[in-house]
Amino acid sequence: MPETFRDNEERQRFELEVDGPIAFVTYRKTPDVITLVHTEVPPELGGRGIGSKLGQATLDAVRAQGRKLAVECDFIRNYMKKSTAYNDLLVEGEVAHAEPAASYKATCFCGAVEVEVSGKPLFAGYCHCADCQAWSAAPINAFSLWKADSVRVTKGESEIGTFRKTEHSDRKFCKRCGGHIMTAHPRMRLIDVYANLLKGYTHEPTLHANYASKMVSVRDGLPKYRDLPANLGGSGEMLPD
């Protein structure tokens, strides 16, 4: 069975392709440090040790590239607990053992529904798409995208309604007050919890999405994508501030 490992810089991830399906580790790179963010092994590759192979190949690649290592991904963190062979790669002060992840709560307008997120979002920014504008009755939506398994409904699950205009977005709201809570993106396995609802959370936007349909300009110097960045499935095309 052919296995190919590569650093796909365009999609910002290490990939292990096994006869078609691709397992991958997403990352952020600076000249000195690579931060491993999230690992995904497709279900059809499960139970075959592919995750461990990917972990090893990824950490070997980090070493070969001469960068220091930071780890946000639980999978890689757990992999590194099994062996100390890569601990020398870690940036100073970083330990392989996870600190308890920070968590934040979001509630709907009336408080009947409460969700909790933990860790860090994979992406945070602003969306200017026509759907967000219409759904939120606002010109811009502040989004924070979390792995689906780091979002938990902690109160009022039965009060949550879902509206699905497209198969890519399950928009969730409180049936009691109509307040919006989050939008699940099943295809990406990510959930957008509306950043302005998260108590104690600091929104650290890195981009503007769907700027082609903006109602207002935001001259904050952040990248403005016509639709979405390539690693979120978009064209990656940029527009002026």
For binding to Zn ion (CB under 5 A), which residues are involved? 108, 110, 112, 127, 129, 132, 174, 176-177, 179
**Phi and psi torsions of 19, nearest 5°:** 55, 40
Burial 135-163 (b: 16+ CB within 10 A, else e): bbeeebbbbbbbbeebbebeebeebbeee
**Cα gap 218→156, rounded to integer Å:** 36
CB of 110 to Zn ion, least distance (A): 3
Tokens 């977005």 identify what position? 169
| CB closer to Zn ion out of 90 and 238 | 238
Nearest to 62 by CA among 7, 24, 23, 18: 7
| CB closer to Zn ion out of 17 and 227 | 227
CB of 188 to Zn ion, least distance (A): 13
| CB closer to Zn ion out of 8 and 196 | 196
**Phi and psi torsions of 136, nearest 5°:** -95, -5
| CB closer to Zn ion out of 165 and 189 | 165
| CB closer to Zn ion out of 110 and 215 | 110
CB of 23 to Zn ion, least distance (A): 29
Nearest to 89 by CA among 66, 58, 119: 66
Tokens 């052919």 identify what position? 2
Helix (H, G, I), strand (E, B) or coil at 220: coil
| CB closer to Zn ion out of 5 and 135 | 135
Beta bridge partners of 209: 127
CB of 241 to Zn ion, least distance (A): 19
CB of 205 to Zn ion, least distance (A): 14
Q: How many residues does the chain have?
A: 241
CB of 132 to Zn ion, least distance (A): 3
Tokens coding 55: 């972990």
